[in-house]
Amino acid sequence: MKRGQFNLLEAWLESFSHYLAVEKGLAQNTLESYRRDLKKFFSFLHKEKKTNPSTINRDVISRYLLELKQSGHAASTISRNIASIRSFYNFLVQDGLVEDNPAQQLETPRIEKKLPRVLSTKEVDRLLCQPKVGDHNGLRDKAMLELLYASGIRVSELVLLNVGDFNPEVGYLRCCGKGMKERIVPIGSVSINFVQEYIQTCRSKLIKKNDEKALFVNHHGRRLTRQGFWKILKKYAQKSKISGEITPHTLRHSFATHLLENGADLRSVQEMLGHSDISTTQIYTQITRRKIREVYDKTHPRA
């Protein structure tokens, strides 16, 4: 591919990124994922010496996907790359830069959905009991972990919370999810009590500026980051001595599964998790069905 035409693709990518950010309101992580996928695709085109970006056809893209497969990439990665290229070309067609989308009819590889790791209620109790509430950081950590399990919100949503998003009087939390979509999530009395205690006794000691809006702050008095929370969780996961890896999403998965196990309806859980498609939430029903089967096999005399 000639340098000028490669630059043209880069310019189109910048326009596409702006479109996704401004018009679609996608999160920064999603934008970066699109950009990474497309830049790798452009590198392949450069290597293949494809001279005209507007005449790249289905065969060229298929060769790229085959290269990904032969390099050992998972079906989920290949599927994501197809989605990125297809979205990019949809944008180009929409803006009249190319006539059709060569990725439109590409078949997406079948992906085996792995069931997420879920903690038992006893394991959750062990994890949530690790922070020592006698000091400022310990009480903050306890409040965060209790809130995360009580609400099922993502860690990215947790660290974006402001003090005004927490409403203890009505027992609700306001958070911004993917695409900056706002939702209201109910929270229980245990998490409310710990968050209130943190705000009343610790937060003022941790913040450096009185106008700081962030609900949870680090030792510098600034908004806690996702990476900062990950380090905190990792520390308590190791202390709890629970087998297997525990991630911020493990508490979200556990929240959803425990609700369904105790009779919550799928649509309500979908709303609380902020899933746009109920099929995403349905994976948790597979976990509850698996658990029912295990209980049956262990307890029924003729199983």
Q: Could you give the residue numbers annotated as active site?
A: 154, 178, 249, 252, 275, 284
Measured over the CA atoms of residue 176, residue 177, residue 183 and residue 189, the dihedral's sign is negative
Q: Which residue has the tokens 């497309």?
A: 38
Q: Which residue has the tokens 């709890």?
A: 240
Q: Exposure pattern of 142-165 as b/e (b: 16+ CB <10 Å)?
A: bbbbbbbbbbbbbbbbbbbbeeeb
Report CA-CA distances (Å) from 77 to 4, 59, 250: 29, 19, 22
Dist. CA 198–CA 137, nearest whole Å: 9
User: Residue 57: how many CA atoms within 13 Å on its side-chain side?
Assistant: 1
Residues 6+ apart with CB under 8 A from 21: 31
